[in-house]
A = this chain, B = another copy of it.
Amino acid sequence: MKIVECVPNYSISEDVEGIKKIVQPFIDTDGVELVNVEPDTSYNRTVVTAIGEPQAVKSAMVQSCKIASEVIDMREHRGEHKRMGATDVVPFIPIQDMTIEETIALSEECAKEIYELTNIPVFLYNLSAKREQCKKLPDIRKGEFEGMKEKLQDSYWKPDFGSEVHPTAGVTAVGCRPLLVAYNIDLQTNDRKVASAIARMIRYSNGGYRCIQAGPASLEDHVQVTMNVTDYTMTSVYRVYETVKMEAKRFGVDVCGSEFIGLVNMDCLKDIAAYYLCLPSKDDVTLSMDEVIDVVVKNLQVHGFSKEKVIEYYVK
């Protein structure tokens, strides 16, 4: 049975009624499970996770994007995280019995239907990108909502669907990406420079780990190193956590917590648990899901975690 995950990001966080409307299609559509809705007021965005049968997930996604364009007005949006649209980005991730190619095709259908229904211009990004410059989301997003009108006048930045920025909903990116782990580490300081310095030390672009993209983020009462682990089977999450702890020492700063954004799979959690259990490999971990979660939460000081954030909890 084919299963796809979809993790759209919406530029909204405090309007509870608005969020309810936006996620309703994922609740109403058969064959789709709404797994998680994670509003973040500092970032002023909400990350939604849905999982299910590919065509059903796609249809719900198109409807949700339409509703978001009605609920959100980007002209009034402020927040920590860079963004360019009401529905900022729509990643599709193959979970079970799906190839990358099938997932790319699904993302293309979704992009086309979003444009046809809403008039929002859409870029195909990541593995679905048709052009080199569209592979990386930050490159597309550069200039943010406020700069999109000017940016799209350059033919180099012509969207794959549409051409004119939607006046209130901006621009959207849709694409297939491999399963990645979105993971943030909390530092017990308000000094954003410390988070920046540590992010540089661990991310690939500055000499760090191969599969780490990282940057600083300022929350209400502390800073974070916020990161994507693009392939946890190569760059383990525990290794990054321990390296951040090590680097933080230099600044006299403690690591005081961490969090997973969106879903994570058991294979990744077992890989983390194996290290703290002093087992040679994740294949040696024979604990139950609950026990593995306990080990991970305790050792990485994870907050806001439960089995509802584990993919295998939904895929039976």
Contact = CB atoms under 8 A, between A and B. Distances in A.
Nearest to A275: B250
A151 B73 CA distance: 66
Q: In the assembly, how many copies of this chain are there?
A: 2
Contact of A278 (B231, B246, B252): B252
A235 B247 CA distance: 13
A235 B208 contact: yes
A130 B278 CA distance: 46
Interface string A203-238: 010111111000000000000000000010111100
Contacts of A243: 239, 242-243, 246
A201 interface: yes
For the complex of A and B, list the 10 residue pairs with the smallest distance between their C-beta atoms, beginning with the closest. Answer: A207-B234, A207-B235, A207-B210, A242-B246, A250-B278, A250-B275, A207-B211, A204-B210, A243-B243, A209-B209
A251 B280 contact: yes
Interface of A: 197, 201, 204, 206-211, 231, 233-236, 239, 242-243, 246-247, 249-252, 274-275, 278-280
Contacts of A251: 278, 280
Contacts of A247: 239
B207 A280 contact: no
Nearest to A249: B278
A234 B207 CA distance: 4
A245 to B, nearest CB: 9
Contacts of A239: 201, 243, 246-247
B207 A208 contact: no
9 contacts: A207-B233, A208-B235, A209-B210, A210-B210, A239-B243, A239-B246, A239-B247, A250-B279, A251-B280
A207 B207 contact: no
Nearest to A203: B210
Contacts of A231: 207
Given A207-B209, A209-B209, A239-B243, A197 B234 contact: no
A204 to B, nearest CB: 6
Nearest to A200: B234
A106 to B, nearest CB: 28
Nearest to A193: B280
A209 B211 contact: no
Contacts of A275: 250
Nearest to A246: B242
A239 B207 CA distance: 11
Nearest to A242: B246
Contact of A210 (B208, B233, B234, B278): B208
Contacts of A207: 209-211, 231, 233-236
Contacts of A210: 204, 207-210
